[in-house]
Amino acid sequence: MTIFTAGILIIGDEVLSGRTQDTNANFIAKNLTASGIKLEEIKIIQDQKDHIINSVKLFSEKYNYVFTTGGIGPTHDDITSESIAEAFNKKYEINKEAFNILEKYYPEGEFNVSRQRMSKMPSDVQLIYNPMTAAPGFILKNLYVLPGVPKIMEVMFINVLKNLKKGKPKKIITINTNLYESKLAPFLNDIQEKYKECSIGSYPYFNFLSKTGGVNIAISSWTMDSLDDVEKEIIEMIKFNGGNYFFV
Amino acid sequence: MTIFTAGILIIGDEVLSGRTQDTNANFIAKNLTASGIKLEEIKIIQDQKDHIINSVKLFSEKYNYVFTTGGIGPTHDDITSESIAEAFNKKYEINKEAFNILEKYYPEGEFNVSRQRMSKMPSDVQLIYNPMTAAPGFILKNLYVLPGVPKIMEVMFINVLKNLKKGKPKKIITINTNLYESKLAPFLNDIQEKYKECSIGSYPYFNFLSKTGGVNIAISSWTMDSLDDVEKEIIEMIKFNGGNYFFV
């Protein structure tokens, strides 16, 4: 079975300085997983040409799809497009279609040099349209170049996602129990050993006020036809240990 | 001037699948920046031994400090500690101090094999104490190994941070203006060219309901003694363009 893989590159000093809590990676991650594309890595890097060049090259080789967010606006610190052009030996030039879109969008006389900069891209790209603020992203090889503003990125990403080749969606079942993780651990280990084609994740949580806690057990698989048997064994195991459970 | 650098490794399938929105990186990022440590990269990777080994080695060479979160609990999918042991050719064995701490913490008879697993670590580490749920993290070389549960990670990180060598905190001034980014862009570019020792970031936002927007301009520097001159020029420039401003 083919599994399509993906990597995300978040380009932005504002995330590394902590001033911005990134939410783009999580939005993309959720939607990829639900669509049958396996996200294998997220990297958050500085607005620096050499970092961007190295990362896009590496990711483009490693993964079927690469999504970048950030750095395609009109200011001097927006260097994603020119870095990608350099990474793939493309010219960095005005894209006529993007230029026309932006020229139509801005009122007469307001399509200034900085705004025109948003139509500069590597040569030979396909545009990703932006229904909110016009400035397009682009596709080059397996690279999907998106803006950093979440609301705009999200709309553009969802449109892109529709046209991607996808695998079977990942099967996921999540079971909550009030038992502690360390109680469950040896049993989960045995069940994991038995079902190697699925992955059994165990995510503890604590309520520090009530001093209670529990675990969310996530069973997931990209390849199994059914998770029923694993699910049954885990529920039996929870009962055997005197715990409660519900599906999340 | 010495600048201390850092990298963060988030280890967790649950972040890559999108089921969890990571907040650990942002918490660490904010506190590093405020403390004079420059975060240069965040990487989010799968719970896979070879990925963890490669990433900790690389980061340990590249940065002064490396913070990892996740994968040090009691279950089979917690493989951070053994991967790090392998990466640095250390034995993976019971740490006596950690064992004693956990043995005292759990009620008689409840310190089972899985819980004991949380005291297995690379040899020759220094413990990071956990005032909430006892299970310690550890320090190996320049690597700070922390749990994934945010509330616990946060307390442990803050304690670790106190003892790190730090540089001068990064100077940051943020100015909000109602002008559009593309209006400001050429002016900001000129000011950036003039003051190369600071970095001028421009972060646009839009309110899609009111169709209004603006820009936060962040001036920051690790090395300049004062940002006053840059600040003055940016405010003059905003006024010149008929905009309003306030400090954020």
Q: Do A41 and B43 touch (CB under 8 A)?
A: yes
Residues from chain A that touch B17, judged by Cβ atoms under 8 A, are 29-30, 33, 39, 170, 172, 220
Residues A152, A205 within the same domain: no
Q: Are residues A15 and A133 in the same domain?
A: yes
Q: Are residues B10 and B101 in the same domain?
A: yes
Of B162, B195, B221, the one marking the end of a domain is B162
CATH number of the domain that B88 lies in? 3.40.980.10
Which residue segment(s) compose the domain that B177 sits in?
Answer: 171-247
Q: Are residues B41 and B119 in the same domain?
A: yes
Q: Are B38 and B3 in contact (CB under 8 A)?
A: yes
What total of structural domains would you count in chain A? 2
Candidates B24, B44, B212: best to mutate against A (most CBs of A within 10 A) is: B44
The answer to whether residues B84 and B188 belong to one domain is: no
Both tokens of A99, joined, read 């230029």
As given in the structure block, the two tokens for residue B220 are: 């920051």
CA distance B38 to chain A (A): 8
Structure tokens at B216: 């936060």
Question: B151 and B58 in one domain?
Answer: yes
Shared domain for B176 and B65, answered yes or no, is no
Q: How close B123 gets to chain A, by Cα (Å)?
A: 23
Residues A98 and A138 in one domain: yes
CA A221 – CA B195 distance, rounded (Å): 53
Integer Cα distance of B222 and B226 in angstroms: 10
Shared domain check, B140 and B27 = yes
- HSE, CB side, 13 Å, CA atoms: give it for residue B51: 17
Asked if residue B120 and residue B12 are part of one domain, the reply reads: yes
* A residues 193-212 lying closer than 8 A (beta carbon) to B: 199-206, 208
Same-domain pairing of A78 and A9: yes
Mark yes or no for CB contact B77/A206 under 8 Å.
no
CATH of the domain at B209: 3.30.70.260
**How much is the ipTM here?**
0.89
Judgement on whether residues A194 and A147 belong to the same structural domain of the protein: no
Q: Which of B127, B162, B197 is the last residue of a domain?
A: B162
Rg of chain A over all Cα atoms, to the nearest angstrom: 22
Of A111, A138, A162, which residue is a domain's last?
Answer: A162
pLDDT, tens digit only, all 248 positions of chain B: 688 999 999 999 999 999 999 999 999 999 999 999 999 999 999 999 999 999 999 999 999 999 999 999 988 889 999 999 999 999 999 999 999 999 999 998 889 888 999 999 999 999 999 999 999 999 999 999 999 999 999 999 999 999 999 888 888 899 999 998 888 999 999 999 999 999 999 988 877 777 788 999 999 998 899 999 999 999 999 999 999 999 98
CB nearest to A16's CB, from B20, B22, B40? B40
Select the residue from B3, B8, B10, B19 to test the A interface by mutation, using most A Cβ atoms within 10 A: B19
- CB spacing of A26 vs B22 below 8 angstroms: yes
How many beta-carbon pairs below 8 A join chains A and B? 193
Cα Dmax for chain A: 74
